[in-house]
Structure 1
Amino acid sequence: MDVAQDAVLLKGFEATSIEEIVAAVDISKGGFFYHFADKNALAQALISRYIKEEDRIFDDLFGRARELNDDPLHAMLIGLKMLAELFENLPQAHPGCLVATTAYQDRMFNTEVRELNRSAILGWRARFLAMIEDIRALYPPNEPVDMGALADMVMGVAEGGIILSKALNEPSALPAQIMLFRTYLKLLFSPRLRPAL
């Protein structure tokens, strides 16, 4: 699974062959097909594993942030800072997102893989929307914003930051994008200071 994931993130699913995976892990093609009916079954297994790991990271970071501060806005700001620090401390740029990789090449996958991908995105939307709605309950936004689109923006910023990091060979681009989103969130929800009379 690790070999397959690394190859897919480096080259994409289409360019990753079953032959190279079995050669890298020193098993027969029959051994591969014992575990996976086809390449779509491998994709499902990889995406499922990736989603669980992403959810674990989000649960851990944003759960710890909430333990550090009961205020939902401050907890989210702390969680985003910890997320940026996590990516900043990677030895190389973030390897990429399997969910995004499959979305880019969705025509090569069956309905089950596409639905798994869709449910991952919807799950992340629901996660961040719940946090944002908690914030909005205490801090009305300073500008009219679609809360669902704002929740999607978390993943959009993260995926965009990964692309920038890879394209520019600048590992710091991803944490910088997360910190910019953090600033936007702070400006959007922080109570405006009223001018002194």
Structure 2
Amino acid sequence: MEETGTQSGVGTRERLLEIAEGAVLAKGFGATSIEELIVEAGITKNGFFYHFPDKNALALALLERYLEREERLLDEVFTRGRELSEDPLHAFLIGLKLLAETMADLPQTLPGCLVATFCYQERLFDSRVHELNRSIVLGWRARFRRSLEAIQTRYEPREQVDLDGLADMVSSVIEGGMVLGRATGNPAILPEQIMLIRGYVKLLFSEPSSHGGSA
């Protein structure tokens, strides 16, 4: 099957990604076949290979799509937090609360975490997929560390804390909450977990630093 136009091609590619993501999250990448994807999408094998030369190309596209979607969401909620408060701690806490509320408003089935899924089956993928998966994890660490560094300039932590480790904890709660919510069929787990890490950050940085001034 050949694509008849740009709009048609984009629509088919997005539909294939949507079908593939659901299948991969349900049973893993290895158990997801090209044949089942083309049957559900209503296209031929040639139509599939028009968009994805092989399964690794499909995996890469799934991760890129996931990254774009997650980055857009995080940008929205944490930018809104900074708009509502100039205090770095309050802005971060607002962002986490907005994220929890957004996750609570999602449909019953959570989107799941492709990063975790691909890590579990890493032997199936080439270096491009491994590198993008790694960059997603490191990107989340860098994002949250920047916020935590800004907080630490104004607030003295109640106990010694490694900011990389704390940034990874925030990431793990968000990504792990998706996995737990999907595994248990309880979508409330993710927003609850986000609010728990929010409470921890709030308690950890509750005292203004002597060199940073009051909030």
Task: Return the TM-score normalized by structure 1.
Answer: 0.94
Q: Secondary structure at the match of 1:164?
A: helix
Residue 156 of structure 1 pairs with residue 172 of structure 2: yes
Distance 2:35 2:190 in 1: 33
Structure 1 partner of 2:55: 39
Aligned to 1:195: none
Q: Partners of 1:166 and 1:50 in 2: how far apart?
A: 16
Q: Shift of residue 158 of structure 1?
A: 1.3
What whole-Å deviation, never above 9, does each CA across 1:136-171 have from its counterpart, x for those lacking one?
A: 011021111110010011111112212322233221
Which deviates more from structure 2 when the two are superposed, residues 94-103 or residues 172-181? Answer: 94-103
Residue aligning to 1:57: 73
Deviation, 1:24, is: 0.7
The partner residue of 1:122 within 138, 148, 151 is 138
After superposition, residues 1-197 of structure 1 pair within 5 angstroms as 1-191=17-207
Secondary structure at the residue paired with 1:95? Answer: coil
- How far apart, CA to CA, are the structure 2 residues paired with 1:144 and 1:124? 22
Give, in whole Å, the separation in 1 of the partners of 2:140 and 2:128: 18
- Aligned letter for 1:185? V
Task: Give the percent of matched residue pairs that are identical in Structure 1 and Structure 2.
Answer: 58
Q: Which runs of 5+ in 2 are unaligned?
A: 1-16, 209-215
Q: CA deviation at 1:18?
A: 0.6
Displacement, 1:12? 1.4
Aligned equivalents of 2:40, 2:155: Cα separation in 1? 53
Residue type at the aligned position of 1:61: V
Letter in 1 for 2:82: R
Q: Structure 1: which 5+ residue stretches go unaligned?
A: 193-197
Higher RCO (C-alpha under 8 Å, 6+ residues apart): 1
- Extract structure 1 runs of 4+ deviating beyond 6 A: none
Q: Which amino acid aligns with 1:6?
A: G
The superposition leaves residues 67-88 of structure 1 with CA deviations (integer Å, 9 ceiling, x where unpaired) of 0111110000000001111111
Q: C-alpha distance in 1, partners of 2:102/2:81?
A: 13
TM-score (norm. length: structure 2): 0.86
Q: Is the 8 A contact 2:113 2:179 kept in 1?
A: no
| Residue number in structure 1 paired with 2:8 | none
Instruction: Render the CA deviation track for 1:2-53: whole Å, top value 9, x for unaligned.
Output: 1111111111111111111111111111111121111000000110011011
Task: Calculate the aligned-residue CA RMSD, in Å.
Answer: 1.1
- The size of the alignment, in residue pairs, is 192
Q: Can you list the C-alpha shifts for 1:91-148, whole angstroms capped at 9, x where unaligned? A: 2142201122111111111111000000111111110000000000110211111100
